[in-house]
Amino acid sequence: MRIGKTMTLLCALTLVLSACSSGGSKGGPSTTGATETKTETAATDTENKGAEKESEQTYKTPDMDFDMGGRTIKVVSWWDMTIPEDNPDNIQRKKNLEELEKKLNFKMEYVAIDYGEYQQKVTASLLAGEPLGDIVRLGKNYTIPTLVKQDLLTPVDEYTKNPVAFNQNVTNQFMQYNGRGYGFTENQANLVQGVFYNRTLMNKLGLKPLQDYVNEDGWNWDTFLQVAKEANKDTNNDGKLDSWGLANPSPLEFALASNETSLTKDNKQNLEDPKTIEALNFISRIVTEKVARPTEGGDWKEPGQFFRQGNTLMYTGALHELSGIKKDMPDVDIGFVPFPKGPSASTYHSFEGLYQSLFIPKAAKDPDKLLYIWEKINDIDSMYDYPDQATYETLFTDENDIKNAKEVAANLAVLDHGTFPNLKFYDFLGEITGGTSVSTVVEKYKAPFQAAIDEVYGSK
């Protein structure tokens, strides 16, 4: 697939060359050149006005000149965030950083800490007033509200207004507390989650293409269950099912996000919300109607293993799993559709339950300058038409799959029930999947959920 901006330039060049080759009629003065010049000038003026308008709409912090005194700025994460030179965008970022280091007299150092010990080490350093870095990556679950309430982090929303350099949803929505934004990131991409399906098996079973449901705006919980049941077949007539429709027996978080709801909402339990009840009843139907492939006693990896066997149609998962799936299933055509819309939803969604971003510790000096530097590193004219384009075009071969991934990524839901250590999510889910009625489970858990929330936010 060609990059859109390049195509635009090529098309413009083709039009100009075509016009120039037409020439005037023989034997008399030609006005074609003058007409073309006027046309090209008008087109250029229109493009310039469009560019000026776009520039006016995109906020950029004015250029500043200051001296960081040779300071080393440490960026701490659970992976090495050194800017790679693996694509034109990152090459430009790297160049920007090198120029800024010379101009403003600082050095950027990237520190990687093993994920298994990351939270404990970084949190301890913040509590001690000696942060491991000037910019640190933190998970939302243990940061908001816990660390923010202790005044350990600096609000950043007044410095992150450039939408090219900062993902506006992160600061202004996902990482908010009491009306201020604390987290930031340059990454404009979101986690893609949805339904991977075996197109080869779908065709073998003679099922209606899943993409048709999406195209007809008919991909909802009812059609999802219908498709899964249709794929539960005894294909060799031995009296036992050998083909299944759904690998995952309890995709509760997918259901919550796809119905635009959650188990918790800020400092309140949300179990009694009608949208939440709908999601819980949907999961209950998967169980009571025996829709999913039965467990064989495996662990959390079992659904993925079922899907890789090639006899299960659908698997709910995340995009980062796809390369491994394709490696394990080289002869199978893998497709992707959104998780179906719930009855109260307006669009398709992806979700994230362990959201993370960058923060600036309160003890770090000059947060305004740190964020200015971060903005100027990442304020680039991307060669891509949308975030993660190169990844999508590498993993997917079908344009519909790409379109579906883009749609769910644009509508990310962040679920926060993981914020509360004593909220017994798996016990709660286990009762639903064990066949207990939704009304009974909700009544049993609403008070314990609220108590777990109050432990973190404080009861009022």
Percent of the chain at pLDDT > 70 equals 87
User: What is the pLDDT averaged over residues 440-444?
Assistant: 98
In this predicted structure, the answer to whether residue 79 has a pLDDT above a threshold of 90 is: yes
* pLDDT digit string, tens, across residues 138-162: 999 999 999 999 999 999 999 999 9
* pLDDT digit string, tens, across residues 191-222: 999 999 999 999 999 999 999 999 999 999 99
| pLDDT band, residue 26 (cuts 50/70/90) | very low
Residue whose C-alpha is closest to residue 186's, from 215, 170, 165: 165
In this predicted structure, the answer to whether residue 82 has a pLDDT above a threshold of 50 is: yes
Per-residue confidence (pLDDT) for residue 450, from 0 to 100:
98
User: What is the pLDDT averaged over residues 287-292?
Assistant: 96
Q: How far is CA 3 from CA 16, 54, 238, in A?
A: 21, 20, 52
Per-residue confidence (pLDDT) for residue 459, from 0 to 100:
67
Summary mean pLDDT of the chain: 90
In this predicted structure, the answer to whether residue 129 has a pLDDT above a threshold of 70 is: yes
In this predicted structure, the answer to whether residue 173 has a pLDDT above a threshold of 80 is: yes
Place of tokens 């080869």: 200
| pLDDT band, residue 460 (cuts 50/70/90) | low
In this predicted structure, the answer to whether residue 36 has a pLDDT above a threshold of 70 is: no
User: What is the pLDDT averaged over residues 259-269?
Assistant: 97
* pLDDT digit string, tens, across residues 310-360: 999 999 999 999 999 999 999 999 999 999 999 999 999 999 999 999 999
- Secondary structure of the chain as H, E, C letters: CCCHHHHHHHHHHHHHHHHHHHCCCCCCCCCHHHHHHHHHHHHHHHHHHHHHHHHHHCCCCCCCCCCCCCEEEEEEECCCCCCCCCCHHHHHHHHHHHHHHHHHCEEEEEEECCHHHHHHHHHHHHHCCCCCCCEEEEEHHHHCCHHHHCCCECCCHHHCCCCCCCCHHHHHHHCEECCEECCECCCCCCCCEEEEEEHHHHHHHCCCCHHHHHHCCCCEHHHHHHHHHHHCECCCCCCCCCEEEECCCCCHHHHHHHCCCCCEECCEECCCCHHHHHHHHHHHHHHHCCCCCCCCCCCCCHHHHHHHCCCEEEEEEEHHHHHHHHHHCCCCCEEEECCCECCCCCCCCEEECCCEEEECECCCCCHHHHHHHHHHHHCCCCCCCCCCHHHHHHHCCCHHHHHHHHHHHCCEEECCHHHCCCCCHHHHHHHHHCCCCHHHHHHHHHHHHHHHHHHHHCCC
Place of tokens 């229109």: 46
Per-residue confidence (pLDDT) for residue 58, from 0 to 100:
79
In this predicted structure, the answer to whether residue 40 has a pLDDT above a threshold of 60 is: no
In this predicted structure, the answer to whether residue 48 has a pLDDT above a threshold of 90 is: no
* pLDDT digit string, tens, across residues 179-196: 999 999 999 999 999 999
Give the pair of three-digit tokens for residue 416: 């926060």
Percent of the chain at pLDDT > 90 equals 87
Q: Which of 36-45, 167-176, 382-391, 406-415 has the lowest mean pLDDT?
A: 36-45
Tally Cβ neighbours within 10 Å of residue 130: 10
| pLDDT band, residue 73 (cuts 50/70/90) | very high
Whether 263 and 417 have beta carbons less than 8 Å apart is answered as yes
Query: At CB < 8 A and 24+ separation, what contacts does 294-301 make?
Result: 295/249
In this predicted structure, the answer to whether residue 10 has a pLDDT above a threshold of 70 is: no
User: What is the pLDDT averaged over residues 303-307?
Assistant: 97
User: What is the pLDDT averaged over residues 378-406?
Assistant: 96
Residue whose C-alpha is closest to residue 223's, from 314, 325, 351: 314
Per-residue confidence (pLDDT) for residue 140, from 0 to 100:
98
User: What is the pLDDT averaged over residues 414-436?
Assistant: 97
**pTM given for the model:** 0.86
Place of tokens 């080490």: 121
d(CA 163, CA 382): 13
Per-residue confidence (pLDDT) for residue 20, from 0 to 100:
34
In this predicted structure, the answer to whether residue 63 has a pLDDT above a threshold of 80 is: yes
